[in-house]
Amino acid sequence: MRVGIVGLGLIGGSLGLALRRLRHSIDVTGVARRAESAAAAVQRGAVDRASTDLSDVSDCDIVVIATPIDQIAGVIERLAPIVPAGTLITDVASVKRPVVGWAQRLSNPSRFLGGHPVAG
């Protein structure tokens, strides 16, 4: 299974670390805004590979959007034309109404599954 994580901050990085600990044939690709953040995520073992290029997650089975909420609409807009129809897309935002609305931009909105990490 190939999992892409867009946003390698606290939540995205933690998710990557947890997935990589499972090691059940899960390959984790990360995307960060800055090359330094991408390199740091690889170095700390949060992802198998990382870059600043969103198209690097275009072959993933699942894509997790772990960016601040004000960036999610743009990420969905850029993901829509590059991920196959069978790719599951989810997010970790704390609010769902706007995110679900933005997900309607996908060619197949039913492939979006809103998520929320339970922490704290």
- CATH number for position 106: 3.40.50.720
Beta bridge pairs of residue 64: 5, 90
Is 119 part of a structural domain of the chain? Answer: no
Supply the DSSP symbol for 91.
Answer: E
Residues 37 and 39: their CA atoms lie apart, in Å, by 5
Q: Which residue has the tokens 């909420």?
A: 69
Is 120 part of a structural domain of the chain? Answer: no
> Is the pLDDT reported for residue 107 higher than 80?
no
Number of domains in the chain: 1
> Residue 27 in 3-state DSSP?
strand
Q: Under 8 Å CB-to-CB from 43, ≥6 apart: which residues?
A: none
Task: Indicate the pTM of the whole model.
Answer: 0.92
pLDDT tens for residues 15-29? 999 999 987 789 999
- Average pLDDT over the chain, rounded to whole? 91
pLDDT of residue 119: 59
Supply the DSSP symbol for 101.
Answer: H
